Amino acid sequence: MNVIGLGTQDDSGQARDFVERGGTYSFPMYWDETFESWEVFGIRSQPAAAMLSPDGDVLAGWLGGFDEAEVLRLADQYSS
């Protein structure tokens, strides 16, 4: 499983500062200044998360917090 972060608000410098202040991110962060990613994934607010299949299909999406157990269950389900 690959995890990425996707910043869209403010600007890329502020996104980098946020990641550096958090200090807990062990995944690559990308920047989308166009907000096209919000349209693709149906995101209306932050925080948000989406789980994609290896083919790029959206398997699940969350607005706000999400249950870690559900994420792990889905990851296990789609990795076999």
List the domain boundaries for the chain.
5-79
Look up the CATH superfamily of 5-79. Glutaredoxin (3.40.30.10)
59: which 2 tokens?
Answer: 């398997």
Mean pLDDT per 10-residue run, the chain (80 residues)? 78 77 74 87 85 85 88 84
Residues 6+ away with beta carbon under 8 Å from 30: 4, 5, 6, 7
Gap between the Cα atoms of 41 and 21, Å rounded: 26
Helices (H), 12-58: 12-22, 36-41
Q: Which pTM does this prediction carry?
A: 0.68
